[in-house]
């Protein structure tokens, strides 16, 4: 969204919305169709206590709102005098969150629009959250055509996509994706205010190949009927929240014991995922284990060996992020990334890293 601002002597304020096409959004390693828009694109009594959880593998729709309005970038503008200006340069930075306009709090683009449409001054003060601290910056908008002004800032206030639930605990807390949701343009981990988990219906699979990871296509209807739960955390180890309709999502409730990282070995394992309207396990191998902890969501390398899965998907596809990894009857982790040049291979996160986020 490019924001135009300033209303002086009742002049019209030009505000330009930047709409992110879902087709360009791969952060959740999935794809979706939102009603008529097609996009392509990362508790029950059955729950036991302790380190036993219900086994996931089901795809879900994800919608999250940022905590404030996230700044993507700034740009230069040509004024009515023919000169080039960049009013927000060196004042606003990529990854900042706009939380207030002239001391009026905002949480989304619509509130930002309301705030700037009623300005009657030559400058505007934006309150920014940057690396955990708040600061105010004063910006003079540029008149780019008679009576219309811009600040030259591009922003985003929500993110949406498709992913896979890994598990749910006996406290109805779920973990999904196994990796964080980063902004597609800035690669910054998004700070969220809240989010919602939705039912989704997988419609098609695009098979992956070398240099081109495959994807899932799904339909998500964003209404109250399809809400499964709420999202309250976006971390490098995945997204987390509370599942309100466990029986709706976990039609088959399978308790499984979780494994510590030091129990994982190289060798045979399985991933559980939803392909061709069926939730089942497919054979893989754990080929490497990294105990250094350098990257929280890349603790192991896995390779798909199952002929059926290779035939249907080419290996790991976008939308599988969060698919449980099982070894020796225990949940050891979740799929997080696919190797672009070899879709049979990818990374997985240790399940103990995900469990640490829900305890």
- Tokens standing for residue 14: 């030009």
Structure tokens at 357: 């986020």
49: number of Cβ within 10 Å: 8
Q: Among 345, 285, 313, 126, which residue's Cα sits nearest to residue 204? A: 313
CB 30 within 8 A of CB 321: yes
User: What phi and psi, each to the nearest 5 degrees, are found at residue 115?
Assistant: -65, -45
Does pLDDT of 138 surpass 70?
A: yes
* Percentage of the residues of the chain whose pLDDT score is greater than 90: 52
Q: How confident is the model at residue 119 (pLDDT cuts 50, 70, 90)?
A: low
Residue 32 confidence (pLDDT) above 70: no
Q: Is the pLDDT of residue 299 over 50?
A: yes
Is the pTM higher than 0.95?
no
Structure tokens at 112: 């930002």
Residue 163 has pLDDT above 80, yes or no: yes
For the range 140-143, what are the long-range contacts, defined as Cβ-Cβ under 8 Å and sequence gap of 24 or more? 140/87, 141/4, 141/5, 141/6, 141/87, 142/77, 142/79, 142/85, 142/87, 143/79, 143/80
pLDDT in tens, 41-74: 333 333 333 489 999 999 999 999 998 899 999 9
Structural domains in the chain, CATH included, are 68-156 (2.30.42.10)
For residue 309, pLDDT over 90 is answered with: yes
Band (117; pLDDT cuts 50, 70, 90): low
């Amino acid at each position: 969204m490019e924001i135009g601002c300033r209303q002086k002597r009742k002049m019209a304020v030009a505000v330009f919305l930047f709409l992110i096409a879902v087709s360009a959004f791969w952060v959740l390693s999935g794809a979706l169709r939102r009603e008529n828009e097609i996009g392509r694109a990362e508790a029950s009594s059955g729950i036991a206590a302790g380190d036993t959880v219900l086994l996931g593998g089901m795809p879900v729709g994800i919608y999250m709102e940022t905590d404030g309005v996230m700044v993507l970038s700034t740009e230069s503008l040509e004024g009515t005098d023919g000169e080039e200006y960049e009013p927000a340069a060196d004042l606003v930075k990529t990854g900042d969150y706009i939380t207030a306009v002239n001391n009026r709090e905002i949480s989304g683009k619509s509130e930002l629009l309301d705030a700037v449409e009623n300005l009657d001054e030559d400058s505007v003060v934006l309150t920014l959250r940057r690396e955990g601290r708040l600061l105010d910056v004063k910006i003079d908008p540029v008149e780019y055509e008679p009576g219309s002004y811009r600040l030259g800032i591009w922003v985003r206030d929500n993110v949406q996509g498709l992913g896979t639930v890994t598990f749910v605990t006996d406290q109805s807390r779920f973990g999904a994706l196994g990796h964080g949701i980063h902004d597609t343009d800035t690669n910054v981990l998004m700070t969220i205010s809240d989010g919602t988990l939705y039912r989704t219906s997988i419609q098609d699979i695009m098979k992956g190949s070398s240099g081109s990871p495959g994807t899932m296509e799904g339909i998500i209807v964003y209404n109250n009927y399809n809400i499964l739960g709420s999202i309250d955390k976006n971390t490098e180890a995945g997204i987390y929240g509370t599942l309100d309709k466990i029986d709706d999502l976990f039609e088959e409730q399978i308790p499984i014991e979780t494994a510590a990282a030091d129990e994982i070995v190289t060798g045979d394992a399985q991933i559980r995922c939803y392909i061709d309207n069926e939730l089942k396990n497919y054979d893989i191998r754990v080929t490497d284990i990294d105990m250094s902890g350098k990257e929280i969501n890349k603790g192991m390398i896995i390779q798909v060996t199952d002929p059926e899965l290779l035939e249907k998907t080419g290996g790991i596809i976008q939308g599988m992020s969060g698919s449980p990894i099982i070894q020796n009857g225990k949940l050891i982790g979740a799929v997080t990334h696919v190797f672009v040049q070899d879709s049979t291979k990818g990374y997985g996160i240790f399940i103990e890293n995900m469990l640490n986020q829900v305890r």
